[in-house]
Structures are given as C-alpha cells and as structure tokens.
Amino acid sequence: MVNKTLNDIKSQGTVYWITGLSGAGKTVIGHGLYERLKTTKPNVVFLDGDSLREVFGNDLGYTLDDRYNSAMRNARLCKLLSEQNIDVVCATISMINRCQKWNRDNISRYIEIYVRASLDVIYKRDSKSLYGDGGKGQLRNVWGVDIEAEEPITPEVIIDNDGDKTPEELVEYLMVKVHGLTEN
C-alpha cells in the first residue's frame, strides 16, 4: 500500500480493475458497472484495453513483454486518474501477476475483479475471432492459447460468467460486492 494519510486516500478515486480472458465478459460487465456508478458519482470513467491500445498509438505488439508494457501503461493511467479523485473502471486482460501486484502497491483504492469463464465457453463466444478452432488456430500470442494467463492471486471479487446469468444480474452481483468494499 502506498504511504499516504487517511485524508489522502479518501480524496482519491477507486480503481476497479476488471481482468479475465478475451470473451469472458469484462467489457460488458465493466461498462455496466460504470453505468451504475455514474448515477451517483459524476467523476467516473470507463477504460477498455482495446481502446487504450488505440489511444496509446497501437505501438505495441502482442508478445508477453508487449502485453506487460501495455498493462503497465493502463495501470499508470488508472493511478494518475485515481489520484485526481476520479473513479476508474478498467476492463483489460492484463493477466500478469506482477502488474496486479504493482497496482496493489501503488494504487491506494484498488479493487481487483476477475471475470472467469470456462475455455469452452470462451472459445464458443470468440467475439474477436482469436481462438479459431477451439484454441487450436494459427494465431500466436493469444492469452489462454499460447500465452499462459496468470489468474489473479487475491481478487476482491470473482465473477463466474459461463452464461447462466444475464449481464444485468452479474452487474448487480458486482455492485453488492463492491459496495461493501468501498464503504469507508
């Protein structure tokens, strides 16, 4: 935890870091959380990993090192915004434990949310055509295929999203969970 006084921490925004494989539902759940939060907080932003790559100029590839550098860009931006009393909902794969550790060590109000879905479900959803033949396609540098995803070690919230609940139900579950975490 960053060395700050209680008043410093209270004047900072919360970072809701939503991680999971492509197709797990991070963006849908994250956007739903953002929509719910902004009804009571005027200072909330929604960031999506794909959009952030574009904003930063698409100058990084998809190797593990590039993905780490991209994740750290996202993390540093979230920290900067939170220090200006802005709540940030960031939906990004970023399944790298050292990035998540950096977030915990450097972002005072950090809530990690892991959206988990089975590989079978993710391969069927395949909204970005990443997985091809159930993960046996020709693509390289894909999380969960040829890059091993590191599941979060201590997420505050785990959402299982294999399709048995609607996005609205998942967001409601998340709201209940994060409300207890931000009540201070």
Please list, residue by residue across 4-13, b when 16 or more beta carbons sit within 10 angstroms of its beta carbon and e when fewer do. eeeeeeeebb
pLDDT score at 184? 46
- 124 versus 107: which is more confidently predicted? 107
Instruction: List, by residue number, the catalytic residues.
Output: 94
pLDDT score at 118? 82
The predicted-structure confidence for 114-143, as pLDDT tens digits, reads as follows 999 887 787 776 665 555 554 455 555 555
pLDDT score at 4? 55
- 139 versus 41: which is more confidently predicted? 41
The predicted-structure confidence for 56-93, as pLDDT tens digits, reads as follows 887 888 888 888 999 999 999 999 999 999 999 999 98
Map residue 16 onto helix, strand or coil.
strand
Q: Which residues contact 67 (CB under 8 A, 6 or more apart)?
A: 60, 93, 94, 96, 141, 143, 147
6-175 sits in which CATH class?
A: alpha beta
